[in-house]
Structure 1
Amino acid sequence: MTEERSPRTGPTRTIVTPRLRLRPTSLGDADAIAALLDDHDVVKMLSRVPWPYTIEDAESFIRDRSDETVFAICLKSGGEIVGLCGIRCDANRPMRGELGYWIGRPHWGNGYATEAAHAAIDYGFTALGLDEISAHCRVINEASRKVIWKCGFRFIGSGMIDTVASGRVASEIFSLDRNCWRSLKTWGEAR
């Protein structure tokens, strides 16, 4: 008989990358998060974010994240929040998670999404002990697709997903398993 495993739990720890600090969110972040999500071009690419987005929405999101690990993506110099990222565990398949991330428009084009996604993926495979992480993006979201490819995900297929702000939209699905992630990390160290 196979023993059923579940992701490791515990307090979310802060992660430091070359330019960013990924830390747990707090209610004090609600104003900054709501200000960055006061942009339909950001929100229309996200699946679970309503439009318009309010401070109350941000507070509710921060309070009700028992099913996922969420990080505020902050600049290492100054601490300004530039977006959020995280891993949500799959309730039906506990050793699998889904990567999510967004960056506010004033910070687009700096590579912050890729840097934060790499850190969140590492956290998912190490701290949470996941076996596989998936990522979804709208077919029209070329910037997100580039982040996903840079992180080593492979294309699984396409389909439709329901979003809060945009309704039913075409989406692409990607996957990264622990073995592939481990190989990519090893290759990166060989440089």
Structure 2
Amino acid sequence: MTEEMTERPGQRALSPRAFVTPRLRLRPPVLDDAEAIAALLDDYDVVKMLSRAPWPYTIEDAEDFIHDRGGEAVFAICLKTSGDIVGICGIHGNGMHRAGSGELGYWIGRPFWGNGYATEAAHAAIDYGFTALCLDEITAHCRVINEASRRVIWKCGFRFTGSGMIDTDAAGRVASENFSLDRSCWQSLKSWGASR
């Protein structure tokens, strides 16, 4: 993963403008992305797996999301070759846990399922969380019926921490599985990958 940074004169580098992975470019979403995001989320099979996406999902919802990301580090997942948006990923502060903890979130639109884009983007977001955000722990959760998301989480090195319930905007209260990845495990995984 390489990183492009946005800088201001006389200041240290600020938030990343983009991450470049072998096939993807992750960059902050802009208002011009609202139509593409809304089109990808015009699919209940995608939205029902997300905790904070309403149904039906409109362009206005996409614009609100782009305007109001709060303390989240959110990235549009784009194909490097064409620039087309395939989904969204990010890390946001996890107020329910101790300081230094964030939560990984991601989704990929149906036309792009099955290509490994979620795993590639999640790896980049996790690296950003532990490096730029200096997190000590990143958590993730998925619905118990979401096998594809569970595979991404396992491939990223998370460990299972338990089951529970989460409230979703589109599907109501649903059963979920919870996972965690701490800094020391992430560092070990990174060093193992570098030694191959």
Instruction: Place the TM-score, normalised by the shorter chain, in its bin.
Output: over 0.9
What's the CA shift for 1:66? 1.9
Letter in 1 for 2:178: I
- Correspondence for 1:6: none
- Correspondence for 2:30: 26
What's the CA shift for 1:94? 2.9
Between the aligned partners of 2:130 and 2:17, the Cα distance in structure 1 is 14
Whether 2:158 is the aligned partner of 1:117: answer no
Between the aligned partners of 1:12 and 1:36, the Cα distance in structure 2 is 24
> TM-score under structure 1 normalisation?
0.94
* Pairing of 1:94-173 with structure 2 (within 5 A): 94-173=99-178
Between the aligned partners of 1:12 and 1:119, the Cα distance in structure 2 is 12
- Correspondence for 2:64: 60
Q: Relative to structure 2, which stretch is displaced further, 10-19 or 128-137?
A: 10-19
CA RMSD of superposed structures (Å): 1.1
- Correspondence for 1:86: 90
Between the aligned partners of 1:111 and 1:157, the Cα distance in structure 2 is 25
What's the CA shift for 1:13? 2.8
Letter in 2 for 1:155: F
Letter in 2 for 1:121: I
Between the aligned partners of 1:10 and 1:85, the Cα distance in structure 2 is 19
Between the aligned partners of 1:88 and 1:136, the Cα distance in structure 2 is 13
Show structure 2 runs of 5+ residues with no match: 1-12
- Moved >3 Å (runs of 4+): none
Q: Secondary structure at the match of 2:36?
A: helix
Letter in 2 for 1:71: F
Letter in 2 for 1:165: A
- Correspondence for 1:69: 73
Between the aligned partners of 2:14 and 2:39, the Cα distance in structure 1 is 30
What's the CA shift for 1:48? 0.3
Show structure 1 runs of 5+ residues with no match: 1-8
- Correspondence for 2:10: none
Identity rate, percent: 77
Whether 2:192 is the aligned partner of 1:187: answer yes
- Using CA pairs under 8 Å that are at least 6 residues apart, name the structure with larger relative contact order, 1 or 2: 1
Per-residue CA deviation, residues 92-149 of structure 1 (Å, 9 max, x unaligned), is: 5331000000000000000000000000000000011000000000000000000000
Between the aligned partners of 2:71 and 2:141, the Cα distance in structure 1 is 18
> Contact 1:34 / 1:53 at 8 angstroms: preserved in 2?
yes
> Contact 1:12 / 1:69 at 8 angstroms: preserved in 2?
no
